Structure 1
């Protein structure tokens, strides 16, 4: 289990799956959610997903070591845009990440699948380099805090849930 060492501040936003990963039979239906397509299926263990819905932040090459109602752990790469002078012209930064998700909750949006649960807490930790805007101890926005996880700068998203409408 991960421990949050510094209480955080915020950044980015949610997560919408863009690639399908296999789930083990018998696993509960739990997912990362943000930009969910109500016409699509609930994706578990995604290899790639955009965590802010506009592709300026994408977790890719994800390999999940655990996935279930008790939480998810995985490693991969964050490909995010430094939006300076703006997001269209910003530099794309690529960094290895360790991702933890926990606390699955039912969606509040009635358009979401009723049998799925969505991780409401998620951290993205940067053990080998970090985007310059992630400064532990500062806040980006409510529900997005910059923290330290296992000694690495990280983003903690709380109160997450899918947008299914």
Structure 2
């Protein structure tokens, strides 16, 4: 069962990675609740589409080698959004194209809302914070923070 989940997550990330070059910027790789401008703070995905409570989120837009899956949201507010899920990461051994994807339980927090450059009336989260309660990718510390694209 775990192997099936891992394989499914890897296929989703690989397909999303390929889709970056094939899908118009208005398409979305993961389902989300439609957000009206000013309604809620949003997270901007790799396709520059606003999302609220996505079930998946690609971290590595360029190559698809890191993403979040199975996101379960406990809160989505004006200052932060909190979820648990899996960080699916390619080990890139011996190189990324031949690497294997591994899943790690992760606590997720989107934070630091700011005006979205594309739509200044819309607030979007500007930072992603991950913390790993157990095992984690060998190249990452127990907690890592990423600045999100605009």
Superposed, which structure 2 residues align to 1:64-75 within 5 Å? 64-75=73-84
**Structure 1: how far apart are the matches of 2:31 and 2:40?**
13
Give the conservation status (yes or no) of the 8 Å contact 1:118–1:161.
Answer: no
Q: Select the residue among 79, 95, 98 that pairs with 1:89.
A: 98
Q: How many residue pairs get matched? A: 123
* TM-score of the two chains, using structure 2 as the length reference: 0.70
* TM-score of the two chains, using structure 1 as the length reference: 0.65
Q: Select the residue among 127, 146, 154 that pairs with 2:143.
A: 154
**Structure 2: how far apart are the matches of 1:117 and 1:85?**
41
Q: Displacement of 1:125 after TM fit?
A: 1.0
**Structure 1: how far apart are the matches of 2:55 and 2:64?**
15
Q: Displacement of 1:85 after TM fit?
A: 1.9
> 5+ residue gaps in structure 1?
1-15, 136-152
Pairwise CA RMSD: 2.6
Higher relative contact order at CA 8 Å, sep ≥6: structure 1 or structure 2? 1
**Structure 1: how far apart are the matches of 2:35 and 2:119?**
19
Q: Structure 1's 67 and 24: CA in aligned 2 closer, same or farther, altered over 3 A?
A: farther
Give the conservation status (yes or no) of the 8 Å contact 1:29–1:115.
Answer: no
* Partner residue, 2:138: 132
Secondary structure of the residue aligned to 1:88 is helix
**Structure 2: how far apart are the matches of 1:45 and 1:97?**
16
Give the conservation status (yes or no) of the 8 Å contact 1:107–1:117.
Answer: yes
Q: Displacement of 1:36 after TM fit?
A: 2.8
Q: Displacement of 1:24 after TM fit?
A: 9.1
Q: Displacement of 1:83 after TM fit?
A: 1.7
* Partner residue, 1:30: 41
Q: Structure 1's 131 and 44: CA in aligned 2 closer, same or farther, altered over 3 A?
A: same
